[in-house]
Amino acid sequence: MAEPKYTRETVLSVRRWTPKLFSFTLTRPPGYRFTAGQFARIGLDTPAADVFRAYSIVSSPFADTLEFFSIVVPDGAFTSRLQHLQPGDTLLLEKIPYGFLTLARFQQPAPRDLWLLATGTGLAPFLSILQDFDVWKQYRRIVLAYSVRTADELAYKPEITDIAATFGENGAEFRFLPIITRDPEAALHQRFPALVADGGLEQAAALSLRPDRSHIMLCGNPAMVEDTRQALMARGLTMNRKGVGNIAVENYW
| Site residues, ligand FAD (CB under 6 A) | 39, 53-56, 68-71, 73, 76-80, 99, 120-121, 124, 250, 252-253
Question: At closest approach, how far in Å is the CB of 38 from ligand FAD?
Answer: 9
Is the CB of 207 or the CB of 224 nearer to ligand FAD? 224
The amino acid sitting at 90 is T
- In whole angstroms, what is the distance from residue 156 CA to residue 37 CA? 17
Min dist CB 171 to ligand FAD, Å, is 25
Of 185, 182, 174, 181, the C-alpha closest to 195 is 181
Closest approach of Cβ 53 to ligand FAD, in Å? 4
Rank residues 111 and 122 by Cβ distance to ligand FAD and give the closer one.
Answer: 122
Q: Are 60 and 135 in contact (CB under 8 A)?
A: no
In the bound state with ligand FAD, the residue whose beta carbon lies nearer, of 55 and 156, is 55
Q: Which is nearer to ligand FAD, 56 or 60 (CB)?
A: 56
Question: For the chain, first and last CA: distance in Å?
Answer: 33
Residue number, nearest CB to ligand FAD:
76
Closer CB to ligand FAD, residue 114 or residue 148?
148
Residue among 122 and 200 whose Cβ is closer to ligand FAD: 122
Could you tell me the smallest distance in angstroms from the CB atom of residue 73 to ligand FAD? 4
- Taking the complex as a whole, how short is the minimal distance between the CB of residue 173 and ligand FAD, in angstroms? 27
Min dist CB 120 to ligand FAD, Å, is 5
Complete edge-to-edge strand list for the sheet that includes strand 113-119: 173-180, 141-148, 113-119, 214-220, 247-251
CB of 164 to ligand FAD, least distance (A): 21
Taking the least distance from each CB to ligand FAD, the nearer of 14 and 71 is 71
Nearest partner of 208 among 241, 175, 185, 179, judged by Cα: 175
